[in-house]
Amino acid sequence: MVGALAVVSAQNGQRQVSLVVTGGTVVTVDAANRVLPVGAVAVDGTDIVAVDTAENIARQFRGRDTIDATGQIILPGLINTHTHAAMALFRGLADDLALMEWLNRYIFPAEARAVSPEFVRAGTRLAALEMIQSGTTTFADMYYFEEEVANETKAAGLRGVLGQTIIQFPVADAKTPADGLVRADAFIKAFKGDPLITPAVAPHALYTLDGPTLRAARDLSRRHNVPTLIHLAETRDEVQVAQERFKSSPVAYLDSLGFLGPGVLAAHGIWVSDADIAVLKARGVGVSHNPESNMKLASGAAPVPAYIRADVNVGLGTDGAASNNDLDMFEAMRVASLLHKHVTVDPRALGAHTALEMATIRGARALGMDRLIGSLEARKHADLITISMRGARQTPMYDPVSHLVYVVRGDDVQNTIVNGKVLMRNRKMLTLDEAAILAEAREWAAKVRAAVK
């Protein structure tokens, strides 16, 4: 892929590449935690070809395009391991409720009346705009009409692990779970092998699905060798359901179905025992930690330090904007770090470096994509962002990783690049029409309000 575009300039021995991002502090999040105070990243086509000092990159490469990142941090794009992009249109619709009441009284009824292919397209565009503006380059999604999510994700230029939802009751895109499975099968066939989209199956949760459907959903993902996304052990109510119906914990129940294995990403994983954690580790399940949604719905605090000690791959997520209420992964890092210090009364429980890894390389591992994304290294996909460090809030800077977790906000992101393509340049959107997306979202809000009256 790289070779086809490589041209060696005769005059000075420099290799011509498509893009050089240079002059910033490069925080690679590679295995050696390399930080280059004045560094650069050379990109050719869809991939990174070199990460080095700005001087060494300038000697070896000439970019057909150059982004000057002086006064900025150059970072791998952030990976949001759990969201429901289209729910951006439900942002702020119902707050200050526990999960089950929030779902049953507001979200499921609103979805029953409002969700359509047009709704999903508009909501995904809004979420994509927010994600690009706040430095997310890959997101894992669970929703309805997932082919619409995929088309909008591709149009925006983002990378997505997109799961077609399977749920027991009738929903907008499927009258029965069997219909949902047929949809998921068609969706996988349509998008498998796409450079930006990894199709997936998303059985909603054990409390909204029966055993045969959970098994069928998992069989489908195994047959196609695609990821399975599920909500797991999110609330004490879910634990109670599992105890009453199956005389077991949520994790043990799914394990008894043969559901757990590599390729499964479990969102939340809050109410788990040490034995459950050992099962998740043994089965190679990834976990998505969503501290803001969990705190807002008062679902509880996932035992993230215990997961990390047990070497379970834990990434970070925002959950949908209806329960967060934004998609800012910098905020998710900060809240994750503060939450675990707070609940353990130990300031070392989740340090800045680990929080940053959860938003990048650990998230990539949880999704099984760490050979492709999650750090700035040659031969990985060119998914990177630059972040201004010039404001009062970021001055002075002793430690870039500290600032990334404890002071940076999504708005500080200046450039967002996915698969070698610049999606936002100096905060100007290049793939999306910002004004049109915002106007459309405001129109949808009127319809949603009418639907939940």
Question: Under the rule (CB under 5 A), what is the footprint of Zn ion?
Answer: 319
Shortest Å distance, C-beta 95 to Zn ion: 16
Shortest Å distance, C-beta 97 to Zn ion: 15
The nearer residue to Zn ion, 152 or 319, going by C-beta atoms, is 319
The nearer residue to Zn ion, 148 or 319, going by C-beta atoms, is 319
Q: Which residue is nearest to Zn ion (CB)?
A: 319
Shortest Å distance, C-beta 319 to Zn ion: 5
The nearer residue to Zn ion, 238 or 319, going by C-beta atoms, is 319
The nearer residue to Zn ion, 292 or 319, going by C-beta atoms, is 319
The nearer residue to Zn ion, 27 or 103, going by C-beta atoms, is 103
| Angle at alpha carbon of residue 307, lines to 302 and 310, rounded to 5° | 160
Shortest Å distance, C-beta 266 to Zn ion: 11
Q: What is the 3-state secondary structure (H, E, C) of the chain?
A: CCHHHCEECCCCCCEEEEEEEEEEEEECCCCCCCEEEEEEEEEECCEEEEEEEHHHHHHHEEEEEEEECCCEEEEECEEEEEECHHHHHHCCCCCCCCHHHHHHHHHHHHHHHHCCHHHHHHHHHHHHHHHHHCCEEEEEEEECCHHHHHHHHHHHCCEEEEEEEECCCCECCECCHHHHHHHHHHHHHHHCCCCCEEEEEEECCCCCCCHHHHHHHHHHHHHHCCCEEEEECCCHHHHHHHHHHHCCCHHHHHHHCCCCCCCEEEEECCCCCHHHHHHHHHHCCEEEECHHHHHHCCCCCCCHHHHHHCCCCEEECCCCHHHCCCCCHHHHHHHHHHHHHHHHCCCCCCCHHHHHHHCCHHHHHHCCCCCCCCCCCCCCECCEEEEECCCHHHCCCCCHHHHHHHCCCHHHEEEEEECCEEEEECCEECCCCHHHHHHHHHHHHHHHHHHHC
Shortest Å distance, C-beta 167 to Zn ion: 12
In angstroms, what CA-CA distances link 290 with 44, 81, 238, 299, 409?
34, 9, 17, 10, 17
Shortest Å distance, C-beta 444 to Zn ion: 20
The nearer residue to Zn ion, 294 or 313, going by C-beta atoms, is 294
Shortest Å distance, C-beta 323 to Zn ion: 7
Shortest Å distance, C-beta 256 to Zn ion: 23
List phi, psi (to 5°) of 72.
Answer: -125, 165
Shortest Å distance, C-beta 163 to Zn ion: 11
Spatial separation of the C-alpha atoms in residues 342 and 337, rounded to whole Å: 9
The nearer residue to Zn ion, 288 or 313, going by C-beta atoms, is 288
The nearer residue to Zn ion, 231 or 362, going by C-beta atoms, is 231
Shortest Å distance, C-beta 195 to Zn ion: 26
Q: In the sheet that 159-166 helps form, which strands lie side by side, from edge to edge?
A: 78-83, 136-143, 159-166, 197-203, 228-232, 264-268, 286-289, 314-316
The nearer residue to Zn ion, 268 or 334, going by C-beta atoms, is 268
Shortest Å distance, C-beta 84 to Zn ion: 6
Count CA within 13 A, CB hemisphere, residue 133.
15
The nearer residue to Zn ion, 84 or 421, going by C-beta atoms, is 84
The nearer residue to Zn ion, 327 or 352, going by C-beta atoms, is 327
